[in-house]
Structure 1
Amino acid sequence: MFSIPGTGIFNNNQKIKGTVVLMSKNVLDFNAITSAGSSVSGAVSGIFGTVSDVAGSVVDGATSIFSRSIALKLISATKTDGQGNGKVGKETYLEKHLPTLPNLGAKQDAFDIHFDYDADFGIPAAFYIKNYMQVEFFLVSVTLEDIPNHGTVTFVCNSWVYNFKNYKKDRIFFANDVYLPSATPGALVKYRNEELENLRGDGTGERKEADRIYDYDVYNDLGNPDVDNSLARPVLGGSSEYPYPRRGRTGRRKTKKDPKSEAPSSSTYVPRDEIFGHLKSSDFLTYGIKSLAQNVLPRLQSVFGLNSEFDSFDDARSFFEGGIYLPTDIISDISPLPVLKEIFRTDGEQALKFPPPHVIQVSKSAWMTDEEFAREIIAGVNPNVIKRLEVFPPQSTLDPSIYGDQTSTITKESLETNLEGLTVDEALEGNKLFILDYHDAFMPYLRKINGLKTSKAYATRTILFLKNDGTLTPLAIELSVPHPGGDTFGAVSRVVLPAKEGAEGTIWLLAKAYVVVNDSCYHQLMSHWLNTHAAMEPFIIATYRHLSVLHPIHKLLEPHYRDTMNINGLARQSLINAGGIIEQSFLPGAFSVEMSSKVYKNWVFPDQALPADLIKRGLAVEDPSAPHGVRLVIEDYPYAVDGLEIWDAIKTWVQDYVSLYYASDNEVTKDTELQTWWKEAVEKGHEDLKDKPWWPKLQTLEDLVQSCSIIIWIGSALHAAVNFGQYPYGGFILNRPTISRKFLPELESEEYQELVTNPQKAYLRTITGKYEALVDISVIEILSRHASDEVYLGQRDNPNWTSDSKAIQAFKKFGNKLAEIEAKIEQRNKEPSFRNRIGPAHMPYSLLLPTSDEGLTFRGIPNSISI
């Protein structure tokens, strides 16, 4: 036997057998693509032309390519190098290609590797890896077999590995073990800290594709003033005027006209491991959004024109029933990308045809009823805004020194004709009155919004009554605009009451449309984007910066971060950017995301927990004897009923998991990684709200369980509830218009006469036009879809995510509980007494059913905000 220089490992010809599973980069890695031409077909051609040589050389003759191109060095967890750090073995290369390995995933390749081993090396628990090729590959896993006195060691990697020259320090991976920082084997402490330092970076420089650095920045990349002054946008975050959660830092150059703003680019950096590339079919979906924004929709605008109109309700349904003629050149641009071809349903007749949204699949006119209008407020795509009315008349929280008296002008007399014999005071006392209140969110922006060429809108308040049969009905809608004399004079308001016939019936239908326009915009910008996508990103960044992959809380939360930074980066590039899809198709236009900044001022982290949210809105009261600790004011409230069961399952799972690693509050406070993680998530990630007293201090087990439960809830169930119903409800633009373009007509005016003689035309000339509707539904059809390889709540993408058998067992219990909940939800949807679950449109409430198939299913809770 002899010593190998520099390793301290004795070579006695004993070997450890290993299996390395990886995937080579290939042509489906859409996130690495920049446009190669002015059309989609040109871009696709550029994709294949760019990488065909690489793909061919890598896939063919895999053994010869990889065998001397990828090297690993094992790191011991039990034996040190004399300085307290784990011994590092010698560099060992991949060997034989194993294309027929059982359970090998799609496009995955496996390779043998054999490491020299001696007992003096101890138990390997980490490894360095070097990629000597110019092209990156995706490392899926490494498995070491028959370690003496130990058995198998599994490394779940799921990471892109670039040429070694791209890294200041070699890439390191750890076994799927779990250690609190204080319990980390001494031999691994250096390596654990070193990897976290690598992920944090130094906060300087422009991030490159191969980087894996997580850092914070403000939202200063939505505008593009260098192209046009009209594309300038305020920086969101870092000021009391425009507070905002932080995004991932990219370090791009500043714009010439605004040194505070970052110049947009065709490819927005996110840490490389946040981009799964060809591993996920959802990349087809996300790339579809980018292609729509940059290539297809601008072409379609020339077809429809800016002022295109629907002629009738039947015409609006033509998107789904007859299709729309498209010129041949646009068809040729769509056809190369399968996702666009599927979404647009192009065929030989050159017709653009979308799938019928669920809201009109059974009844074409149910959307017009008051019952369906009210039902969608508690069982639609934005079910968490309604509040119980506690004070009459409704009050405003706007500063009266700036906005004057904004108190509602709705009177008791106007309501009492439809209160089933009750007075307003009796209805209030009996918890029978509710309000959908968008007055304060829209009023400060109405002058700006109504100054836009295509927008004429109101700030709305809607009063609803809980009837004896458990359903809601609207009693009155208040439509308000700023006083023409100035903001300090308050609002000018008009109250519209329910009507079914003639001109008054059409005015009532229009009043409901103004409400839904407010609701659609608030939903997309606040309930969806701000409260899930944007609010989640700081927690993701802080986790990777401060919680090692060996940390139990990292393993708990990581599945709920999958793809979120990726989709958020895409959103900043194509959806919420200046002139982007949201600004084109939603009422506030250039003020869209800016409005969400004002709402963020009142965002409260603990209130994101569903029970706290329901209590805050007056939709539930604390009741220890109730199944979930709260009693619902509206018993048949589908979102709340299903959501409370999902919430409890999540919190129970988190409690079971956390208790495996923390026995006392003291262990929480002494966990250095955990405390640094939380401090930074609050003080840097949500810096503009860092001084709020409601932040949990993370000093107790309960703080930890509650905070992790909220993060998981936001990333899974809350996002599912406000995302996957977008197309089923909003795909029919008449049901969920996103823009209003005219005010209510005055009596005796020409517009009023049109309303009398042609009510459909009057309605259609008021709401979203044809082109804007096409933009909206094209995008929400993509956003409402599930990828084929989506991972749902209660599932993991790798059964070996941890080596802790107790954690595996607790997770199995969680999955079983979710299966029980799914069965209960499906049973409730069959119960005719729960009228709010089905409604006139015959749409069973299914958004919180945990599982789903691929596609547009109107159900399913993915682990994370992945689309």
Structure 2
Amino acid sequence: MPSYTVTVTTGSQWFAGTDDYIYITLVGSKGCSEKNLLDKPFYNDFERGAVDSYDITVAEDIGDIQLIKINKHKYWYKDDWYCRHITVKTPAGDYLEFPCYRWISNDKEIDLREGTAKLVTHDVTQIHKQHRRKELEDRQKQYRWKEWHPGFPLSIDAHCHSDLPHDIQFDSEKGVDFILNYTKAMENLFVNSFMHMFQSSWNDFADFERIFVRISNTISEYFIQHWKEDFMFGYQFLNGCNPVEITKCTKIPENFPVTQEMVELCLERKLTLQQEIELGNIFIVDYKLLDGISANKTDPCTMQYIAAPICLLYKNLENKIMPIAIQLNQTPGPENPIFLPSDAEYDWLLAKIWVRSSDFHVHQTVTHLLRTHLLTEVFAIGMFRQLPAVHPVFKLLIPHVRFTIAINTKAREQLICECGLFDKSLCLPSAIKMRGMESKEDIPYYFFRDDGMKVWDATLNFAKDVVDVYYDSDKTVCEDSELQAFVKDVYVYGLRDNEGSGFPKMIKTKEKLIEYLTLVMFTASGQHAAVNFGQYDWCSWIPNSPPTMRCPPPTNKGEVTIEYIIESLPDRGRSCWHLGAVWALSQFQDNELFLGLYPDEHFVEKRVKKAMAKFRKNLEDIISFIQERNKNKKLPYYYLSPDRIPNSVAV
């Protein structure tokens, strides 16, 4: 009688094993096996991380294996089981791989397909067509769209982390609880918890430095010594936490009446302001998104203020980006002066602090939250709703949405306040070009651009290699109804038909599909890493990135004192909270999976595995390049080194 060897691999995460009864049925083209209990006498099967093999004998030839059916029945209590994958050795000696990578609950039947990726047009048997359709029907019931707040992309319909489908929850909820992580941060930083009880001001800048004891960080330590310098202020627009706001200035805005006389002392080439603009040496950062937004009023004891500054910057003869004019609000007038480097020391310093505070708000709500966390969640929900596990795009994207829905749900529970902002291109090459920042010759020290483009290109080449395996023409792309449903779901529901998002309603060519997939993968990996993991480096020195301002922006020159600046900055309690928060957000997760590492083998095809190996080699070359460039740098840039880029948004 024909005999099959079935090898079952259990996950290694917490609580992955089970004591329940596991049954398997082999479904072939000519018939089915019996429902077999997988059990070894006197042996504890399906332990965490275990690999267990079983022999299954069938009475007659069942033909080519079409599906594996798995049933789990309770032994004595609810005991979910995480199955990584199953391998079947056929009587002919062939090995068939059946990826699972999901939790299996009590009395729930799971059908697994052999791991070769298939487009919907490739399925010819009725059993495979039905399986595909049923999987999506079930997923669309589990993964539902919901409006969280007006103006935001839609999110998952779940009130809290425990409401999520088990497959997308964190392996250990305790490990990603932000409040617990914040408390751990306070302990690690040795911040005096007694200080949290005070809403009193600090005495001077030296007071802020005292909360940095007991931790060593090269960038933040160097930064503390140089944060007041105009060079350091300008450098952050290129390589700090928010390196996506600076734009080449082609015309001075009408609501920012900067004159030649105001800035001529800063123009080292002895040219006019207009000539410097024409040469591409003038840059601008405009926080008009914040105009009209009210500050947080949850604390009745502390007034808080938000400004919407405009900052003009100049590339000097040393290729350093230097601030030359700052207006703190959008409407010009006598009570909204333009601050200059030639002004009194504290006038100019406070103007720069206000810009940094505004940058902090835009970074957290738009650059970080909206354009990485929430956007990746939109792709994840659309993927689960419209792409079956056998689809190659599902297999390609699943590592890049790992835990994203979970971390966003946690954040909505614990962390995030309201806002409603969405605009601008999210395709890295287009975004850089749109801001006029593409020229290495004109802007030589823009490491975010340089490293980002290397990672983008490596990711794009990987996406192309995978797409070429399954799509032989533009026609194949157009005819992939599941792919088109995914793209449409993202646009219509996730992005709420927002034409300003720049996203398509459908994809008609292989080239556009490759770009689209690259955008998804890069947003979840490189883009998030670039704007998240430097938060402690650049935001822990609170005068540089105040999360709140307690006094209004100055309306006159010559009146700012050091005491007014200290009174404007966050009080002791908020400062400690801020320090702990940026430290916690900057930490990698336990067992982090970095870009190019795909231990879950959703793909079984040799061509795709070869493409993965090529991708890793390209990433290793980028790592070597960045390490060499960073040697002996006082301000190394490493946020886009692939060995520091997690695959997904998970923190």
Corresponding position of 2:256: 408
| Compared CA separation, residues 557 and 740, structure 1 to 2 (3 A) | same
Structure 2 unaligned blocks of 5 or more = none
Q: How does 1:767-846 map to 2 (within 5 A)?
A: 767-798=569-600, 800-830=601-631, 838=633, 842-846=634-638
> Which of 427, 444, 454 matches 2:276?
427
User: What code does the residue aligned with 1:377 have?
Assistant: F
Aligned to 1:487: none
The amino acid across from 1:22 in the alignment is: T
> Secondary structure of 2:305's match?
coil
2:167 alignment partner, one of 249, 254, 273: 273
> 2:311 is aligned with what amino acid?
T
Q: Which residue of 2 aligns with 1:214?
A: 143
Q: How far apart, in 2, do the equivalents of 1:509 and 1:356 lie?
A: 26
C-alpha change, 1:665 and 1:491, in structure 2 (3 Å) is farther
The whole-number CA distance in structure 1 between the counterparts of 2:351 and 2:298 is 17
- Tell me if the contact between 1:74 and 1:126 (Cα under 8 Å) persists in the aligned partners: yes
User: Structure 1 CA distance, aligned partners of 2:370 and 2:494?
Assistant: 14
Q: What displacement does 1:824 show? A: 1.1
Mapping 1:552-563, distance limit 5 Å: 552-563=392-403
- Decide whether aligned partners of structure 1 residues 693 and 748 sit closer, same or farther in structure 2, where only a CA change above 3 A counts: closer
* Contact 2:310/2:330 (<8 A) preserved: no
Kindly state the Cα deviation for residue 786 of structure 1 after the two structures are TM-superposed.
1.1
1:577-598 per-residue CA deviation (whole Å, 9 max, x = no partner) reads 5xxxxxxxxxxxxxxx32xx1x
Q: CA deviation at 1:161?
A: 1.3
Deviations along 1:821-864, one digit per CA (max 9) or x if unpaired, are: 11111222238xxxxxx5xxx2201100110xxxxxxxx11111
Alpha-carbon separation, structure 2, partners of 1:70 and 1:649: 42
| Aligned match of 1:685 | 494
CA spacing shift, 1:176–1:118, aligned 2, 3 Å: farther
Question: Residue 119 of structure 2 contacts residue 470 of structure 2 at CA under 8 Å; is this kept in 1?
Answer: yes
Tell me, in whole angstroms, the C-alpha distance in 2 between the residues paired with 1:809 and 1:277: 30
From the superposition, tell whether residues 513 and 449 of structure 1 become closer, same or farther in structure 2 (CA, over 3 Å).
farther
| Counterpart check, 1:417 vs 2:358 | no
Structure 2 matches for 1:104-503, cutoff 5 A? 107-117=48-58, 120-133=61-74, 134-149=77-92, 151-164=94-107, 167=108, 170-186=109-125, 187-201=127-141, 213-219=142-148, 235-236=149-150, 243-250=151-158, 267-278=161-172, 283-289=173-179, 292=182, 304-305=196-197, 307-321=199-213, 355-362=215-222, 364-392=224-252, 394-395=253-254, 407-420=255-268, 421-438=270-287, 440-445=288-293, 453-480=302-329, 492-499=335-342
Q: Which amino acid aligns with 1:497?
A: L
Secondary structure of the structure 2 residue equivalent to 1:425: helix
Does the CA-based 8 Å contact 2:336-2:556 persist in structure 1?
A: no
Distance 2:455 2:499 in 1: 29
Q: CA deviation at 1:302?
A: 7.7
Q: How many angstroms apart in 2 are the aligned matches of 1:633 and 1:514?
A: 28
Contact 1:850–1:861 (CA under 8 A) maintained in structure 2: yes
Q: 2:212 is paired with a residue of what secondary structure?
A: helix
8 Å CA contact retained: 1:98, 1:109? no
Distance, in Å, in 2 between the alignment partners of 1:21 and 1:173 is 14
The separation in 1 between residues aligned to 2:43 and 2:283, in whole angstroms, is 62
What is the match of residue 611 of structure 1?
429
Q: What is the CA-CA distance between 1:314 and the residue it aligns to?
A: 2.6
Paired letter, 1:780 = V
Aligned to 1:480, the other structure's residue is in SS state coil
Partners of 1:782 and 1:119 in 2: how far apart?
59
**Residue 329 of structure 2 aligns to a residue in which SS?**
strand
| 1:318–1:293 CA distance, 2 compared to 1 (3 A) | closer
Cα deviation, residue 611, structure 1: 0.8
Q: Pairwise mapping of residues 585-604 of structure 1 onto structure 2 (< 5 A)? A: 593-594=418-419, 597=420, 599-600=421-422, 602-603=423-424
Give the direction of change, closer, same or farther, for the CA distance of 1:478–1:268 in structure 2 (3 Å limit). Answer: farther
Contact 1:457 1:742 in 2 (8 A): no
Aligned CA RMSD, in angstroms, stands at 3.2
Hey, what's the Cα distance between the residues in 1 that align with 2:250 and 2:557? Answer: 38
Unaligned runs of 5+ in 1: 1-11, 30-57, 81-86, 202-212, 220-234, 237-242, 251-263, 322-352, 396-406, 484-489, 578-592, 622-630, 832-837, 852-859
Deviation at 1:668, TM superposition (A): 0.6
Rate the CA distance shift 1:110–1:146 in 2: closer, same or farther, 3 A.
closer
The corresponding residue for 2:373 is 533
Whether 1:21 aligns to 2:9 is yes
CA drift of 1:616 comes to: 0.9
Give the length in aligned residue pairs: 643
Mapped contact 1:683–1:690 kept (Cα < 8 A) = no
Residue of structure 2 equivalent to 1:865? 649
The 1:830–1:152 alpha-carbon spacing in structure 2 relative to 1, beyond 3 Å, is same
TM-score of the two chains, using structure 2 as the length reference = 0.91
**CA-CA distance at 1:288 after TM superposition:** 4.3
Report matched runs for 1:66-77 at 5 Å.
66=20, 69-76=21-28
Question: Distance in 2 between the 1:783 and 1:765 partners?
Answer: 27
Name the SS of the counterpart of 2:614 in structure 1.
helix
Q: Distance in 2 between matches of 1:724 and 1:674?
A: 32
> Does the CA-based 8 Å contact 2:328-2:553 persist in structure 1?
no
Whether the aligned pair in 2 keeps the contact of 1:16 and 1:144 (CA below 8 Å) is: no
Report the Cα offset of residue 118 of structure 1: 5.8
Assess if the C-alpha contact under 8 Å between 1:25 and 1:135 holds in 2.
Answer: no
Is the 2:529–2:646 Cα contact (8 Å) retained in structure 1? Answer: yes
What is the Cα deviation at residue 447 of structure 1? 8.1
Cα deviation for residue 770 of structure 1 reads: 1.6
% identical aligned pairs: 25
1:568 to 394, 400, 408: 408
Select 2:548's aligned residue among 739, 742, 745.
739
- Once residues 560 and 618 of structure 1 are traced to their aligned partners in structure 2, the CA distance between those partners, rounded to angstroms, is 29
**SS of equivalent residue, structure 1 residue 361:** helix
Q: SS state of the match for residue 555, structure 1? A: helix
Deviation at 1:675, TM superposition (A): 1.4
Aligned equivalents of 1:449, 1:864: Cα separation in 2: 33
After superposition, the C-alpha distances for 1:199-224 in whole angstroms (9 at most, x for unaligned) are 111xxxxxxxxxxx1111100xxxxx
Deviation at 1:290, TM superposition (A): 5.3
Query: What is the SS of the residue equivalent to 1:786?
Result: coil
Post-superposition shift, 1:183?
1.0
Corresponding residue for 1:226? none
Of 641, 645, 650 in structure 2, the residue corresponding to residue 849 of structure 1 is: 641
Whether contact under 8 Å (2:219, 2:635) holds in the other structure is: yes
1:635 to 436, 444, 457: 444
CA distance in 2, matches of 1:613, 1:191: 41
Q: Distance in 1 between matches of 2:604 and 2:56?
A: 22
Paired residue secondary structure (2:69): strand
Cα distance in 2 between the residues matched to 1:748 and 1:611:
41
Instruction: Please tell me whether the aligned partners of residues 849 and 861 of structure 1 are also in contact (alpha carbons under 8 angstroms).
Output: yes
Inter-partner Cα distance in structure 2 for 1:97 and 1:609: 57
Contact 2:98–2:113 (CA under 8 A) maintained in structure 1: yes
Q: What is the CA deviation profile of residues 491-513 of structure 1, one whole-angstrom value per residue up to 9, with x for unaligned ones?
A: 9421111159xxx1122111111
Q: Are the structure 2 counterparts of residues 679 and 691 from structure 1 closer, same or farther at C-alpha, using a change threshold of 3 Å?
A: farther
Helix, strand or coil for the counterpart of 2:597? coil
